[in-house]
Amino acid sequence: MGVITLKTKYLAFLGPTGTNTEQAAIKYNPNSKLEMCSSINEIFSMVENKKTYEGIVPIENSIDGPVTDTLDLLIHESNLSIQKEIILNISHCLITNKNSSNSQHFSEIFSHPQALGQCKKYLLKKYPNSKLTASMSTSEAVKFVSHCAENIAAIGTDISAEIYDGHIVEKNIQDNMNNSTRFIVLSHEKTTPSGNDKTSLCFSFSQDAPGSLYKVLGEFAKREINLTKIESRPSKNTLGQYVFLIDLEGHQHEKLIQETITAIKKLVSEIKIFGSYPTYI
């Protein structure tokens, strides 16, 4: 898919500069004015309070699965709507200070938890004794390591190594070369049908009963609506109680989707639509 061109707007992203989220933001709209944030929560807050027009956050990785911070904010905190999805191929590098004397051993390796998870097998094989420490972002880890005299390393992008003058020890260290992350763009606006859309929503039950989930899924099945993803998150109310999240093909303004949602509302205690948006091609 080519670069999406839109009129200039402020767009919040997870910084510092050099992160994969920044690359996804540029891919989404190279003309936007980027507003750097230190956490996913801050991105949501910036858009909620209309300090920026849009925000872009990671929601799912092909290796490490869902980005739970994003999911939990969508479920419990946010009233924002998903506008777009962007898929970015992810390539991780092991990066250290240019003056580091020993690339065979690092006392500590820093990165965002998602990046550490995506390189788990590599780290266990080559650096089994290194302490793994989570950072707020991959670029923050690279920035810290590149200016630290200790024998430590970071996992980040080749762009971040260039920006912060780090030394790349090894490229493409992710466990799967087909590593990709799905990002979503959030704003207060709603979308109109494009003809090739996806809708994301969540629902929950007031009490657990046999066949509850089966009945909900049956409403999609009998209308031949394809589900592209289904997962669950703890409700944060009671142990064993869950919120179910679904991505489906179609736009919430389409008659068939509206009919299905109406039917589902009779089966669940709560339902929340995160938005309908064009499927990334």
Task: State pLDDT tens for residues 14-38.
Answer: 988 989 999 999 999 999 999 999 8
For all residues of the chain together, what is the average pLDDT? Answer: 92
CATH code linked to domain 93-170: 3.40.190.10
**pLDDT tens digits for range 197-254:** 999 999 999 888 889 999 999 999 999 999 999 999 999 988 889 999 999 999 999 9
Name the CATH superfamily, with its identifier, for domain 10-89+179-187: Periplasmic binding protein-like II (3.40.190.10)
For the chain, give every residue range classified as CATH 3.40.190.10.
10-89+179-187, 93-170
pLDDT given at position 5: 44
pLDDT band (50, 70, 90) for residue 47 = very high
- CB of 139 closer than 8 Å to CB of 166: no
Domain 197-278 has CATH 3.30.70.260: yes
Is 60 exceeded by the pLDDT of residue 4? Answer: no
Torsion angles phi and psi, residue 255, rounded to 5: -55, -45
Question: How many other CB atoms are found less than 10 A from the CB of residue 267?
Answer: 15
Does residue 29 sit in helix, strand or coil?
A: coil
- Give the span between the Cα atoms of 276 and 270, in whole angstroms: 18
User: Could you tell me the end-to-end alpha-carbon distance of the chain, in angstroms, rounded to an integer?
Assistant: 6
**pLDDT tens digits for range 68-88:** 999 999 999 999 999 999 999
- CB of 173 closer than 8 Å to CB of 122: yes
| C-alpha gyration radius of the chain | 21
Is 80 exceeded by the pLDDT of residue 137? Answer: yes
pLDDT given at position 58: 96
